[in-house]
Amino acid sequence: MSIKLVAIDLDQTLLRADKTYDVERFEAVVEQLTQQGVMVCIATGNSYHKIVEFFSASVLESLHLAGDNGNFIMCDHEVEQVIGIERQTFLKLCDYFEGKENFFICISTGEISYMNVSEGIGFEKILKYNNEYKIVQDFLEIPEDQVATKIAIFSPRSLARNKVIAKELSGQFADLSVVTSGDDWVDAYHYEGGKGSAIQFFKERYQLKPEEVMAFGDSLNDESMMKEVKYSVAMSNADIDLALHCQYKIGSNEEQAVIDILERLVKEPDAQFMDQYEMNR
């Protein structure tokens, strides 16, 4: 049985630390995979307006985009699925952080993000991940017809500390999934959402089996999609807690290991070569 869908995280997975990747190699392999009938999905915590910055118009035609941790799916320039947080819930979460120091909140609605800071490290960090944004004094200003697909919390603390914070928030907000997404970030989204929900969407639409899907990731916001696929692939630089949920481990993002695997997949679509990357338990 051959691979029919490949899902790829961006930061620290496809992208190097400096936000670059081997563009020519990636575009060539996406074209080859597409010609073979393999779908390529970018499944990332980044929002749609940031994702498109990384890819040329030509390759975007071939990519499926699952932004905001899979909660905002775009295919062929059309919104295919949105999983949002109840307005009352995201406002309560914002209130939870009111008065707490060094927490900076950004609320994404898929095509635009809202933040309540306009300067300093919080603003600078949020700006790195958002091209379309609006600054508000109060998150109550977000129009009621806007659906919050992800709440990103910039928390300049250790990864271990942010995992504790994520666990605390999960206990406080039963209708949210809360995970770390890199060293300085905590993400919250609807408990029925996440990258796993995006994989479910594609599996149901195209009647795919888990053994026909491969996913690459590095952080705990990738965990839900790893549970939906047979070929769950962690980067060598992945969070150990994510790697524990994966069957395979490859090289690092700096080595462009994802592209290496995709190039081999073109030649060996049954993915049997992945046996050499299987982790010993």
* d(C-alpha 115, C-alpha 126), whole Å: 8
| Same domain assignment for residues 72 and 210 | yes
pLDDT band at 281 (very low <50, low <70, confident <90, very high): low
pTM: 0.96
Percent of residues, the chain, with pLDDT higher than 70: 100
Bridge-based pairing state of the strands 5-8 and 213-217: parallel
Q: Judge if 99 and 180 occupy the same domain.
A: yes
Whole-angstrom Cα distance, residue 238 to residue 24? 25
Q: What is the pLDDT of residues 128-143, one digit of tens each?
A: 999 999 999 999 999 9
Residue 221 belongs to domain spanning: 5-82+193-277
Do 262 and 215 lie in one domain? The reply is yes
- For 235, the token pair is 């980067």
Of 163, 190, 217, which residue is a domain's last? 190
DSSP state of 86: -
Chain segment 193-235, per-residue pLDDT in tens: 999 999 999 999 999 999 999 999 999 999 999 999 999 999 9
Pair 241, 264 in one domain: yes
DSSP 5-22: EEEE-TBTTTB-TTS---
203 shares its domain with 271:
yes
Average pLDDT on 102-118 reads: 96
